[in-house]
Structure 1
Amino acid sequence: MSSIEERLADLEARVAALESERDGPGGARGEEGPARTAGDGTGHLAYGGEAGLGGRTWSWQVVRSPGWLVERPAGPLAAVLAAAGHPARLRILQLLVVGPRPIAELQSELNLASQGQLYHHLKTLTSAGLVEQPERGVYRVPARAVFPVLTLTAAAVDVAGAHA
């Protein structure tokens, strides 16, 4: 059975998708109101979609004002980006976004020199809110972070371009 947080995040994503369908193009809402008429006049940036991962179907839509985004405090954002920015940690996220994995499976998949290295990376990801431990020895990307993690990966692919 899913945790309450996962179930709530799934319901929120479904409601957002239904509201988006109801309101039509440009009608999805983020923290800044209607997508096409952001209150600060800087426009809108949207990400979302649908994905089938780990036996679950995810639907997500987020709309933000560029002006609002550039005013966010850099510290907490940099912590998330730094946590995801290490090659081993990004690989951990890629594995966990599909579904929960036990520590032994992660260790085997990553071929790290020690289990201590793995725990160090998991602690960094957990502190940044990118990973959680729903039960002893098992880790996952929290439901609220699945699409943001996928979006970070997509953005990195786009920025890296031919270098990837």
Structure 2
Amino acid sequence: MTTIEERLAALEARVTALEGGASEPRDAGEESGVVAYGGHARFGDHRWSWQMARPPGWLVEQPPGPLAAVLAAAGHPARLHLLQLLVRGPLAVSDLQEKLSPASQGQLYHHLKTLGSAGLVEQPERGVYRVPGRAIFPVLALIAAATDVVLPH
């Protein structure tokens, strides 16, 4: 069952998409177009819908520091594996430890802290971690984009 927070995040994303990102400046220069991603996903009892569209000129004007922090956090193989596991739903540290062995518990907490600092995971209760509802599709889009770069067309 989806939580209220996940349902609210999905609803906010849909409203933003319907408004066309009204809070963001429109690209009025030579550059035009849109970079979009979204879709629907279901993992167990959890369902998400997402649609995001951004002007390319606006994207390339964003400050690189916060963006690089997210990409760096996701860019480590163990952390990307954690995201792949957690995007399906919350997991206890013991389950994560089992799936990521032989990583030490200290290494696991280090990776979870890094992902948490970047906003890619949260701890809804003691000893349990998940990807926040607002980050489900961005995480899936990061994985999809990396897959498109790696796999031949």
* TM-score using structure 1 length: 0.83
Counterpart AA for 2:84: Q
Counterpart AA for 2:12: E
Per-residue CA deviations over 1:6-28 (Å, capped at 9, x if unaligned) read 231032245467x4xxxxxxxx7
Counterpart Cα distance in 2 of 1:9 and 1:116: 31
Alpha carbons of 1:16 and 1:148: their partners in 2 closer, same or farther (altered >3 Å)?
same
Aligned to 2:20: 29
Q: What SS is found at the alignment partner of 1:62?
A: strand
Counterpart AA for 1:134: P
Counterpart Cα distance in 2 of 1:66 and 1:10: 23
The correspondence for 1:93, drawn from 83, 86, 99, is 83
- Tell me if structure 1 keeps the 8 A contact 2:13–2:52: no
Q: CA deviation at 1:55?
A: 1.4
Q: 1:116 aligned to 2:116? A: no
- Tell me if structure 1 keeps the 8 A contact 2:6–2:133: yes
Alpha carbons of 1:154 and 1:10: their partners in 2 closer, same or farther (altered >3 Å)?
same
Q: 1:61 aligned to 2:51? A: yes
The share of aligned pairs that are identical, in percent, is: 67
Aligned to 1:73: 63
Counterpart Cα distance in 2 of 1:68 and 1:14: 20
Aligned to 2:136: 146
Counterpart Cα distance in 1 of 2:49 and 2:2: 17
Q: 1:157 aligned to 2:135? A: no
Alpha carbons of 1:50 and 1:16: their partners in 2 closer, same or farther (altered >3 Å)?
farther
Aligned to 2:5: 5
Query: Any gaps of 5 or more consecutive residues in structure 2?
Result: none
**Aligned residue pairs: how many?**
150
Counterpart Cα distance in 1 of 2:87 and 2:93: 15
Q: What SS is found at the alignment partner of 1:71?
A: coil
